Structures are given as structure tokens and as C-alpha cells.
Amino acid sequence: MASEALTNAAREGEGQPPVGSTTRLELSVVIERRPSSSRWVDWIWRPVELVLGVPSEGTPRLLIDDPAMRRWLSGPVTLELHRKETADYRLALSAEPPQLYVVLRREEGDPELPWRPFLVTASPFEAQVYAEPGEDIVEAVPMPEPVLAFVQDFVERHHVDEPFLKRRRKAADAPPDAASSFEVLGPCTEGS
């Protein structure tokens, strides 16, 4: 029921682009800090949970204050879904459990909570782009049930299987202006 209301709100929400191009959803991130056993860093930071919506109180807000662990609720951060990236979202949905990817970026000015949510995405490839330089913290976080229904609905409405086009080189004796040919390959079968 909540996921149905969420999906309808996203379809009919004010300020939303037309259905079919991009859909957005506001989330908050729970960020955890634990002591490190490494001699090079004092703390291990990571996103551990996503919460639907933005709390009315200001963020970041301390949720758990324990010597072994501290957790803050921080946000807002926007999950943006694009109709041309549904193949990527299908990969995130096929994970066990389905995942979203959170990117935390260092912000100067708050020594208590130096990492803030920068991006949340359902595309593992977009998350990989942020992970490669090594400046951000990028973690997979389980997808909350209402968000799972929201992403599944978006993928079902917009996914189009595109055939794989394999390019064949033109013959060595072909004229220089001759075009290469393309072959449409169907779904892979076992043994091929």
C-alpha cells in the first residue's frame, strides 16, 4: 500500500518531469562511524541504511551515541531514475538483496561528521565511476521495500530490450568508402 502511494506520488508529483523521462525520490542516509583497528585511520565511515523521505528536523541528526558506534541521519539526497538506464537498474534489482549505491563525500567544517551523502543511485556502473578515483566512500546498501517497489515499477514501465549489434569488419579488398556491416545477435544460449 505504501509503495503504491509512493509510485502514484512520483507519477503525479509537483515539479516532476513528464512520466517517461526522469523520476526522482527524496531519501535520507544513515551514516555509521566505528573505531578502526588500523593504525593509519581512527574511524571507519560507511552508509548503512536508506530512509524514505526527509525528516522534518534538521539533519544531520545523531541517532545512536555509543562508544563502539555512532549513527547519524543525514540528507536529503535524491534518487534519480532515467528511462535509458533501466538495464543498469535491473542489475541492482537482481542482487540479493536488491541494492542502491550511496556515495559519501568529505565536507570540511564539521569534524564530528566529515562525510555527507553526495549521491544515491540504482546504477552499479554510475557508482563505479565515483569509486575509481578513491576520494569518495561508495557502498551498496539494501534497498528499502517501498523504494524497491518504486524502482521495479519504473523498470517495468520503461525497459526496452535492445538487440546486441556486432560489427563485422569490411573486407580487406573493399573500397575505402564501403561501410562495415552489422549483425543483430539474439539472446545468448548455452554452448554458444
Task: For residue 144, tell me if it sits in a domain.
Answer: yes
In a domain, 171, yes or no: no
Poorest-pLDDT segment among 152-156, 160-164, 167-171: 167-171
* 70-91 confidence digits (pLDDT tens): 999 998 899 999 988 999 999 9
Whether 9 is in a domain gets the answer yes
Q: If you compute the radius of gyration of the chain from its CA atoms, what whole number of angstroms results?
A: 22
Report if residue 186 sits inside a domain. Answer: no
DSSP alpha helices (H): ranges in the chain? 2-12, 86-94, 124-131, 145-158
pLDDT tens per residue across span 43-53: 999 999 999 98
Domain assignment of residue 185, yes or no: no
- Please give the residue that has the higher pLDDT: either 25 or 167: 25
Per-residue confidence at 128, pLDDT binned at 50, 70, 90?
Answer: very high
pLDDT of amino acid 183 = 61
Residue 19, domain extent:
2-158
Q: To the nearest whole number, what is the mean pLDDT of the chain?
A: 82
8 Å CB contact between 55 and 28: yes
Number of domains in the chain: 1
Q: Does residue 180 fall inside a structural domain? A: no
Whether the pLDDT of residue 133 is over 70: the answer is yes
Q: Are 153 and 7 in contact (CB under 8 A)?
A: yes
pLDDT at 185: 60
183 part of a folded domain:
no
Residue of 99 and 8 predicted with greater confidence: 99
Compute how many other C-beta atoms are within 10 angstroms of the C-beta atom of residue 172: 5
User: In angstroms, how far is CA 174 from the centroid of its own chain?
Assistant: 46
Query: pTM for the full model?
Result: 0.74
Backbone torsion region of residue 178, taken as left when φ is above 0, otherwise alpha when ψ lies between -120 and 50, otherwise beta: beta
In a domain, 167, yes or no: no
Q: Are 139 and 47 in contact (CB under 8 A)?
A: yes
Buried b (16+ CB within 10 A) or exposed e, 29-58: bbbbbeeeeeeeeeeebbbebbebeeeeee
